[in-house]
Amino acid sequence: MHVKDDISIKEAVERLLDVYKLRRKFDETSIISAWPELIGPAISNRTQQLFIKEKKLFIRVESAVIKNELVLMRKTILKRVNEYVGKVVVEELVIL
């Protein structure tokens, strides 16, 4: 009798992330690496610093014009970021 205990690599990685409580950090890192795709090259090229801490996405930009644009897009950015990872990882946007 042969029992199929095989799982896909994706399932194995998912389980690993959950067991070692690395899911949140993995999702945060995914957001950071996907920033140019999520926000577009015009703004991502002018982003000086980007990090997530305590469910807040901190963004440092080089110009007041870009800063103002990000303030106006705040809700859209939060929605895109959280949709990208499939759950709420970021609850607030802090523009520096």
All domains of the chain, ordered by start, with CATH? 9-95 (3.30.300)
75-92 tens-digit pLDDT: 999 999 999 999 999 999
Distance (Å, whole) CA 87 – CA 71: 22
- More confident call, 2 vs 46: 46
Confidence at residue 7, expressed as pLDDT on a 0 to 100 scale: 87
Sign of CA dihedral 88, 94, 95, 96: negative
Cα–Cα distance, 1 to 67 (Å, whole number): 64
> Is 90 exceeded by the pLDDT of residue 2?
no
What pLDDT was estimated at residue 93?
A: 96
Distance, in Å, from the CA atom of 18 to the CA atom of 24, rounded to the nearest integer, reads 9
Q: Give the per-residue pLDDT at 62.
A: 86
Say what the pTM is. 0.85
Average pLDDT over residues 62-80: 94
In the predicted model, what is the mean pLDDT of the chain?
92
Q: Are 93 and 70 in contact (CB under 8 A)?
A: yes
